[in-house]
Amino acid sequence: MEPGSTESPGGRGAERYRFGAVVVDVPAHELSRDGELRPLEPKAFAVLVELLRHHGELLTRDQLLDAVWGHRHVTPGVLTRAIAQVRAALGDETQAPRFIQTQHALGYRFIAPLEPDAPEPDLLPAPAPMPAPPPAGASQRGAPAARLGRRSADRWRHWRWAVASAAALALAWLVLAQMRTAPAPAEASVAVLPFDALGGSADDKAYAEGLAREMLAALAGVDGLRVAAWRPREALAAGGGPVDVGRQLGVAAVLEANLRREQGRLRVTAQLSDTQTGFTLWSGNFDREPERVFDVQAEIAAEVARVLVGPLPDAGEGLRRRLAPTRDLAAFEQYLGGLRLLQAGAGEAAKQRFEQALVRDERFARAQAGICRAELWRFEGHRDASAFESARLACLRAANMDGTLGSVQLALGDLYRAAGDAPRAREHYQRAQADASVLAQALAGEAKLAAAAGDQAAALELFGQALQASPDDAHLHADLGFQRYLSGDLAGAIEALGRASELRPDNPHVWSTLGSLLAAAGRNEEAIVALERSLAIEPLEAVLNNLGTLRLQAGDGKGAALHYRQAVQLNPNNPELWGNLADVLAASGAPGDEAREAYGEAARRMGEFLAMKPDDAKAQALLAWYLCNLGDYEAARRALARADAIDQQQAEVALLAAQVFASTGELEAARTRIDAARSAGMAEVRINTNLFLQRAGLVPATPAQG
């Protein structure tokens, strides 16, 4: 028998433990501290008893899960939650434990010395001594009265006992009823719904959504708490209530909040609801100065954690740090605005917002990560080689500020993916997946790695997981569409971009990409509609470029040249825009060396891009075409061989190769490549309207229209 514990001779019937001011009575299922009972849930109490029974021993997490839960249908988080509850009841601390020691990544050990347990004083009064019998021969007068008095007292005692019993039964019934109906989630899990901005502007709505995403990311870092991935409001169950959302997302609780900013005050109402019953687990109203928004966030998060996993060992200090990415409210709002612009595809405008945030707070790690991602967007989307170094420096600065953040890990994953370092990119993406707020984006990043490695099945599987985490994310659908295009599935690409345009009809980049895909499929009239939708929202060089190509296909060389020049003026760092301008100048017989100079600019810039991202098949084939027009045929053949080896964008590579062979007079090789382009899904209209194939007599010529 352990010192400091007592047992009955038959086993553990009277098992009790005493340490410090704490007494644990196992049969009574009671824990008292300083003479006061401390409530403890049954599973948490069982964990404590198991640790006491193995005093001084290290019990692994699996041993405790086996002993208390049978290790079936539970996650390790339930043990973490139970340990937190035990520590709260004992008054223990994680950082300086007196009772329960955590052995990192292994388990727990009870370390306090146990003391001999003294018997508790009897709570019932000692029986009164029996009265002596009356002396023999004494008068029995009054005996009947005495007997009557005793009967009356007995009846009164029985009546009091009956009343007390009835009251106890009633109390027990109420307790049991409350236990049956009170919302007590079996698993510590929560979904954070998008916060509502009451009567707010578009900026207020973005502000509210940003706060909700910050809350989700902070709660995802609470040990023992599972947090559902982010879902936009329109992706939630039609009913919209906690029970419907809980059933859809498989969580025990739902956090909702609405906020209003008016008259120099921030007013927030938050509510945590049980998804089994719809009952409110906690609610709070806050009326503070706007600058105290981070304190409000931390208070809400701490209450959610307290209700679902018990008191936090650090009293919520970790949540407060997580929910105060900056102490400058203006910097935070600039950051949220940058995120909104980045999601809309406005990378340059997003970068400016992030830079403004850093002017106000130079240690704002998430803003630095935002600059990194905005620059990578420019590097990959526009083949702008100058953007990569800016992205690299921003990512490294963000990692030095706080490399633990999911947003920073995501940016690093994007950086190393763009640099072609797949192992390091995958490592950072998988770290980012621990942060529910960026889970879907991190999975999409892994999907792009798989696609680049030629594993299309794995890429589509990972994209499916990403869309399962965030089914109505327009960017995920757009990314999926681009990957389908790269794999030769043009119809699937158009379907995915069509869905993205439904979700974000205000995004010019989505319409631009959809228009380019429709043009690639030969659906020119639909392509023009999509491109004009994009142009009406914002003038983009990609839209002007695609409209120029459509004009060229229609035989309007002058109109095409005008669009290409406008596109180059908007973004002179994009080599493909210079190449298209060179093509139309060459086809129209422009005077002097104007076309050659444009080809030279295109080749130089494309070479710089490929030095950092050599696995872009179309870029290699474009370089081959530019070099061919500059007369460097051997370098052109080497670039074309590199493009063929990458095995991506096969239709585009085959058509460009046909142009190269047509210009060098290798007509049979050109015909072979034309057939390969058709087999890979190239639209017939793009082949038949190709001016360079027409000049070589490989396709019928069409009359020029000015």
Residue 275 pLDDT greater than 50, yes or no? yes
Determine the distance from the C-alpha atom of residue 337 to the mean position of all C-alpha atoms in its chain, rounded to a whole number.
Answer: 18
Rounded-to-integer distance, Cα 98 and Cα 295, Å: 31
- Report the distance separating Cα 464 and Cα 628, nearest Å: 41
218: CB partners within 8 A, 6+ apart: 297, 301, 319, 322, 323
pLDDT of residue 686: 83
Distance CA 266, CA 258 (A): 11
Task: Tell me which of 78, 110, 142 is where a domain ends.
Answer: 110
User: 464 and 408, same structural domain?
Assistant: yes
286 part of a folded domain: yes
527 falls within a domain: no
Q: Are residues 332 and 318 in the same domain?
A: no
pLDDT recorded at residue 326: 83
Whether 168 has a pLDDT exceeding 50, the answer reads no
Residue 604 lies in a domain: no
Are residue 454 and residue 338 in the same domain, yes or no?
yes
Measuring CA to CA, which residue among 9, 73, 78 is closest to residue 42?
78
In a shared domain, residues 329 and 260: no
Count of the separate structural domains present in the chain: 4
Question: How many Å from the N-terminal Cα to the C-terminal Cα in the chain?
Answer: 103
The bridge status of strand 253-262 relative to strand 189-192 is parallel
At residue 104, the pLDDT reads 59
Q: 125-129, 255-259, 330-334, 411-415: which has the minimum mean pLDDT?
A: 125-129
Q: What is the CATH number of the domain that holds 448?
A: 1.25.40.10
**Rounded to an integer, what distance in angstroms lies between the CA atom of residue 278 and that of residue 597?**
69
The residue from 88, 110, 132 where one domain ends is 110
- Measured distance CA(254)–CA(525) in Å, rounded: 46
Instruction: Tell me which range, 44-58, 301-315, 501-515, 529-543, is most confidently predicted by mean pLDDT.
Output: 44-58
- pLDDT, position 671: 94
- Long-range contacts, stretch 196-203, CB < 8 angstroms, 24+ apart: 196/256, 196/257, 196/258, 196/259, 197/258, 197/259, 197/260, 198/258, 198/259, 198/260, 199/260, 199/262, 200/260, 200/261, 203/333, 203/337
**Better pLDDT: 573 or 77:** 573
Res 62 pLDDT > 70: yes
> According to the model, what pLDDT value does residue 151 have?
41
- Spatial neighbors of 273 by CB under 8 A, at least 6 apart, are 183, 242, 253, 254, 256, 279, 280, 281
Q: Does residue 194 share a domain with residue 299?
A: yes
* Residue 173, in any domain of the structure: no
Cα–Cα distance measured from residue 565 to residue 588, given in angstroms and rounded to the nearest whole number: 14
Q: Which residue has the higher pLDDT, 108 or 77?
A: 108
The answer to whether position 568 is within a domain reads no
- For residue 322, which of 397, 392, 225, 246 has the smallest C-alpha distance? 225
d(CA 68, CA 79): 9
Residues 6+ away with beta carbon under 8 Å from 600: 626, 630
195 and 75 both lie in a single domain: no
Report the pLDDT value the prediction gives residue 398, as an integer from 0 to 100: 94
588-629 pLDDT tens trace: 776 668 889 999 999 999 999 999 889 899 999 999 999 999
Note whether 383 and 364 are same-domain residues: yes
The CATH number of the domain where 54 resides is what? 1.10.10.10
- Overall average pLDDT of the 360-379 stretch: 92
* Sign of the CA dihedral running 602, 605, 606, 607: positive
410: domain range?
325-471
Q: Name the pLDDT band for 127 (thresholds 50, 70, 90).
A: very low
Q: What is the pLDDT of residue 105?
A: 57
Average pLDDT of the residues in 521-530 = 89
User: Where does a domain end: 452, 471, 490?
Assistant: 471
Are residue 230 and residue 355 in the same domain, yes or no?
no
With cut-offs at 50, 70 and 90, classify the pLDDT of residue 677: very high
Confidence category of residue 666, pLDDT binned at 50, 70, 90: very high
> Could you tell me the pTM of the whole model?
0.58
Q: Tell me: the pLDDT tens digits for 317-349?
A: 777 777 778 878 889 888 888 887 887 767 788
224 vs 22: which has the higher pLDDT: 22
Most confident of 220-229, 368-377, 589-598: 368-377
Same domain, 239 and 304: yes
Question: What is the tens place of the pLDDT at every residue in 449-475?
Answer: 998 888 888 888 898 888 887 777 888
Residues 296 and 248 in one domain: yes
pLDDT for 591: 62
CA angle, corner 25, sides to 24 and 27, nearest 5?
Answer: 145
The domain that contains 307 carries what CATH number?
Answer: 3.40.50.10070
Predicted pLDDT at 604: 94
User: What integer is the mean pLDDT of 657-667?
Assistant: 94
Give yes or no for residue 274 having a pLDDT over 50: yes
Using the predicted structure, report yes or no on whether residue 638 has a pLDDT greater than 90.
yes
The pLDDT of residue 371 is 95
Give the residues across from 271 on adjacent strands: 256, 283
Residue 66 has pLDDT above 90, yes or no: no
Domain presence at residue 202: yes
Q: Would you say 411 and 400 are in contact if contact means Cβ atoms under 8 Å apart?
A: no
Residue of 541, 551, 542, 538 whose CA lies nearest to 517: 542
Task: For residue 548, tell me if it sits in a domain.
Answer: no
- How does pLDDT run across 7-21, given as a tens digit for each residue? 433 334 468 999 989
How many other CB atoms sit within 10 Å of the CB of residue 87? Answer: 23
The DSSP letter of residue 115 is B
Same domain, residue pair 449 and 347? yes
CA angle 353, 227, 276 (to 5 degrees): 130
Query: Has residue 573 got a pLDDT over 60?
Result: yes
Average pLDDT, the chain: 81
Pairwise CA distance, residues 616 & 576, whole Å:
13
Chain centroid to Cα 338, Å, comes to: 18
Q: How far apart are CA 433 and CA 695, in angstroms?
A: 53
Q: Let me know whether 257 and 297 are in one domain.
A: yes
State the Cα–Cα distance between residues 507 and 501, nearest whole angstrom: 7
pLDDT at site 77: 60
Note whether residue 163 is domain-resident.
Answer: no
Q: Tell which wins on pLDDT, 626 or 160.
A: 626
